[in-house]
């Protein structure tokens, strides 16, 4: 079925200004997390494939203790399995295919607009096989996280599991990073170690990593929604500043 219409975020009207009696000065309030990731707990997931990571988030977001909800799923492929998962869960979805635009810059602007229509607090790149560009990062920089099937900075890129096996590592794992303009180069937020067996092939090892990856992304997204996310140069941490 065609993607559901994107919700149009509403902007509350400002109340008329009124005169107020002078008040006693108070100490300044603590600064909120930067970026503010706790205002409403709205999550948008970017996906390109079957959506197993999305499925883990959808299974978790019904729990009030999780801290938020997946409010939109955006893919770059009209046949992505993630769209079916979103439809089954009653979550709005959209597709922004690169082939529909004259260049990557136009696609990047359209992707930013599609995600922005959901007014997210946090954007999760979960098996999204495209690099976002300047327009997207200008809109959401510092509040986009990505999961990767290796212990970054080792083995970045699309063939991380294959590369780790070829190198002969004894352990690998998965990482969650804050997305920047590079390829899997953003600040590290969380990692989990996964053992490598001598008889592993790429498919077997990747499936073992995916199990850990699904658990990690649920844990990380929940903590960001509940506690906030702070980024300072190469350091990313849960909580405020």
pLDDT, one tens digit per residue, over 116-171 is 999 999 999 999 999 999 999 999 999 999 999 999 999 999 999 999 999 999 99
Question: Please, which pLDDT band fits residue 174 given cuts at 50, 70 and 90?
Answer: very high
Distance CA 25, CA 188 (A): 40
Q: Once rounded to an integer, what is the mean pLDDT over residues 52-64?
A: 96
Q: What is the per-residue pLDDT for 32? A: 39
Four-residue CA torsion sign, 237, 180, 174, 81: positive
Average pLDDT, the chain: 87
Question: Please, which pLDDT band fits residue 240 given cuts at 50, 70 and 90?
Answer: low
Distance CA 30, CA 11 (A): 26
Both tokens of 140, joined, read 């959401």
Distance CA 60, CA 53 (A): 11
> Domain boundaries in the chain?
42-238
Q: What is the per-residue pLDDT for 23? A: 34
- Give catalytic status of residue 206 as yes or no: no
Both tokens of 166, joined, read 């070829």
Q: What is the per-residue pLDDT for 40? A: 80
Distance CA 64, CA 68 (A): 7
Distance CA 42, CA 79 (A): 25
Question: Please, which pLDDT band fits residue 179 given cuts at 50, 70 and 90?
Answer: very high
Distance CA 164, CA 197 (A): 12
Q: Once rounded to an integer, what is the mean pLDDT over residues 221-233?
A: 95
Lowest model confidence (mean pLDDT) among 23-27, 136-140, 145-149, 212-216: 23-27
Q: Once rounded to an integer, what is the mean pLDDT over residues 35-51?
A: 82
- Burial (0-12, 13-18, 19+ Cβ within 10 Å), 101: middle
Phi, psi of 54 (to 5 degrees): -60, -45
For domain 42-238, give the CATH superfamily. Formyl transferase, N-terminal domain (3.40.50.170)
| pTM > 0.75 | yes
- Please list, in sequence order, all residues whose beta carbon lies within 8 angstroms of the beta carbon of residue 9, skipping any fewer than 6 positions away: 116, 117, 118, 119
- Does 180 have pLDDT greater than 90? yes
Closest C-alpha to 118, from 80, 182, 68, 62: 68
- Does 10 have pLDDT greater than 60? no
Question: Please, which pLDDT band fits residue 217 given cuts at 50, 70 and 90?
Answer: very high
- Please list, in sequence order, all residues whose beta carbon lies within 8 angstroms of the beta carbon of residue 134, skipping any fewer than 6 positions away: 105, 108, 181
Distance CA 157, CA 133 (A): 16
- Does 216 have pLDDT greater than 80? yes
Question: Please, which pLDDT band fits residue 2 given cuts at 50, 70 and 90?
Answer: very low
**Catalytic residue among 61, 69, 148, 206, which?**
148
CB-CB neighbours of 162 under 10 Å: 15
- 8 Å CB contact between 221 and 57: yes
Tens of pLDDT, residue by residue over 84-101, are 999 999 999 999 999 999
Tens of pLDDT, residue by residue over 104-122, are 999 999 999 999 999 999 9
């Amino acid at each position: 079925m065609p993607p559901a219409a994107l919700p149009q975020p509403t902007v509350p009207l400002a109340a008329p200004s009124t005169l107020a009696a002078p008040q006693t000065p108070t100490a300044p309030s603590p600064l909120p997390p930067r970026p503010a990731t706790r205002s409403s707990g709205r999550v948008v997931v970017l996906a390109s494939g079957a959506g197993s990571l999305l499925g883990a988030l959808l299974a978790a977001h019904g729990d009030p203790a999780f801290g938020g909800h997946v409010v939109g799923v955006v893919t770059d492929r009209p046949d992505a399995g993630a769209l079916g998962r979103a439809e089954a869960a009653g979550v709005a979805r959209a597709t922004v295919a690169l082939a529909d635009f004259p260049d990557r810059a136009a696609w990047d602007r359209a992707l930013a607009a599609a995600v922005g229509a959901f007014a997210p607090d946090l954007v999760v790149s979960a098996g999204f096989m495209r690099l976002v560009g300047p327009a997207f990062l200008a809109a959401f920089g510092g509040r986009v996280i990505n999961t990767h099937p290796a212990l970054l900075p080792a083995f970045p890129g699309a063939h991380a599991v294959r590369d780790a096996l070829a190198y002969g590592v004894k352990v690998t794992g998965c990482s969650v990073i804050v997305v920047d303009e590079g390829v899997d180069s953003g600040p590290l937020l969380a990692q989990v170690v996964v053992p490598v067996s001598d008889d592993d092939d790429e498919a077997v090892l990747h499936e073992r990593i995916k199990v850990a990856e699904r658990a990690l992304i649920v844990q990380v997204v929940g903590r960001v929604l509940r506690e906030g996310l702070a980024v300072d140069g190469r350091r990313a941490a849960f909580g405020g500043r």
